[in-house]
Structures are given as C-alpha cells and as structure tokens.
Amino acid sequence: MPPPWSPKLFVNKDKFNDMCPNGEKTTYYRKCKVEVFSECRHEDGLVKRITLYKDYKRLITQEIRSHYACRKDKLVIRRRFPYEFKLVEHYDSSLQFSHWKKMIRIDGRYRKLYFYHHRQKDGLILREEFFDKKNKIIEEYKNRPDKLIYRSVTFSPSAELNQQSLRLKENNYGKDVLINKMTQKFELDPDLPATNQIKKTEFNINMKLVFIYYHYEEGKITNRDEEWNRDDLIGHANIDNVNEKDAEESKEQQIKRKYHELEMHCHQ
C-alpha cells in the first residue's frame, strides 16, 4: 500500500495545554469569571462554570451557571441565583430516567417542573407547587384519552387530621396535610354533544359542596351546572345493604355514584 497523501497529524503540546492546562482553566472578564474543566475530571460531570457578578470587583454574585456532561440523569445546565434562593435546571431528553425538561425552584416556597411529552402515558407536561402562603399544587396535561387538561389541589399544612379527612401525601412538609379543595378541567371532545361533557369539577371539602360545570353548546351563552352536597355523595357510596345491591339504581343514584368516583379518582 502506498503511504497516505496527508501529512502526519501533529498537535503542539503547548497549544493543547492552553485549552485546559492541568485539567482546568480560569478566565476573568468584566463582571464575569469562566472556569473550564476537562471532561470526567469532576465526579458530578462539571465541564464549565460561569459566574456572573453585579460589581466590577466581582464580590457580589448574581448568577452561577454550571454546565455538565456525561450525567446519568441527563442534567446539562444548572443556574443558581444565591441572593434569590432560586435554582433552575435544564435536562436533555431521555426515555429511561426522570424525563424532566426544566425545573425552577425557590427554596421552601415554590417549585415548577416541565416534562417531556413522551415521559409517560399520563400526559403530564407541567407541575407547579406552592408551599408558602398559597399551599397549592397545579398539574397540566395534554393528549389524554379522558380529555383531562388541568388538576389542582389546595391544602392546609397546620390543620388537624382525623380518620375521615382527605390527605395529601406528596408535599414539601414531610407529613400528610389536609385537603381543602380539588379542581379538575376537561377539554371539549368535538365528536360528542357538548351538553353532556363536563368542563370543570370542583370538590370543596371545607364547604362540603361539589360543583359540576358542563361545556357550552355551539351558539349558546349559558351552560348547565350542578351543585351537590358532598355528604350525600359519600353517604350514598357507603351504603352496604345486600338487598339494595341487587336492586337497580335510579338515575339520581347513578349520578351520585359517578361524581363520587370522580372525586376519589382525583384524590388518587
């Protein structure tokens, strides 16, 4: 075989070290510091860190941006705002791990999660958590077979619990908390009549009321809504009589059972 026409590859050692000598390199700019690290030098996968300052003396830190590579959880960028107690993280798409797209967190007060659409079949794309005075959790969905697009719950972390209380386990307080209200919203299915499709359900635990709102018909400015006593729905669902089980349920009993199942499904 004849020798290759291209010359032998040669990399100058000094120029190679200028990129990242001894595995790291620091460059200072006006109100900024850039640190570059060789890949796999840090256990957490850190390859670059950019620190932004508010003053020219570089004493007051405004933001710290950390870039990562080769991480199992697919984290690529982490932004910290020290004086705001705020953290923002960006993730690459993954089919095997958490499937988070972006996370915004303020310590002890707020957290917001964006999800990739392919993460699961539940269609969850957004989750917001308020743990300050609002005490509320919001979830948004997309492309679900049941047309659910919104779900929220408000709770009281300091209220006392009993055996009949609805409890929320997934929270930032490390204990079960009392649910005050749960809300769901559904989008309209154009293939079905609008009058029979539920638009919004509101289960108000404090007021012991259940509100059901239906979609608007085409060309109508009013819609159908219903109001039920929550104790009646629960009392109907707790009936345990063999003779009544064998008998056919009336239309009102079927509606009560349907709404009670909606509440239990929302709670789950």
How does pLDDT run across 73-91, given as a tens digit for each residue?
889 999 999 999 999 999 9
Pick 139 or 238 by higher pLDDT.
139
Nearest to 163 by CA among 174, 176, 173, 154: 176
Residue, of 147 and 241, whose pLDDT is higher: 147
**Rounded-to-integer distance, Cα 168 and Cα 268, Å:** 9
pLDDT of res. 248: 67
Q: Which stretch of DSSP H or E encloses residue 19?
A: helix 13-19
Q: In whole angstroms, give the CA distance from residue 264 to residue 262.
A: 6
**Phi, psi for 262 (deg, rounded to 5):** -60, -40
pLDDT band at 267 (very low <50, low <70, confident <90, very high): confident
Nearest CA to 219 out of 201, 199, 191, 194 is that of: 194
Residue with tokens 């635990």: 205
Reduced to 3 states, what is the DSSP secondary structure of residue 68?
strand
Given phi > 0 = left and psi -120 to 50 = alpha, else beta, which region is 135? left
What are the contacts of 223-229 at 24+ separation with CB within 8 A? 223/199, 224/195, 228/256, 228/259
- Flag whether pLDDT at 202 surpasses 50: yes
pLDDT score of 242: 41
The mean pLDDT value for 171-184 works out to 83
Task: Please say whether the beta carbons of 172 and 157 come within 8 A.
Answer: no
Higher pLDDT, 256 or 118: 256
- Token couple for 31: 């109100």
Using an 8 Å Cβ cutoff, are 215 and 188 in contact? yes
Domain ranges of the chain: 129-268
36-46 pLDDT, tens digit each: 988 888 888 99
Q: Under DSSP, is residue 152 helix (H, G, I), strand (E, B) or coil?
A: strand
Which pLDDT value is given to residue 231?
A: 84
Q: Is the pLDDT of residue 236 over 70?
A: no
User: Most confidently modeled of 17-26, 119-128, 147-156?
Assistant: 147-156
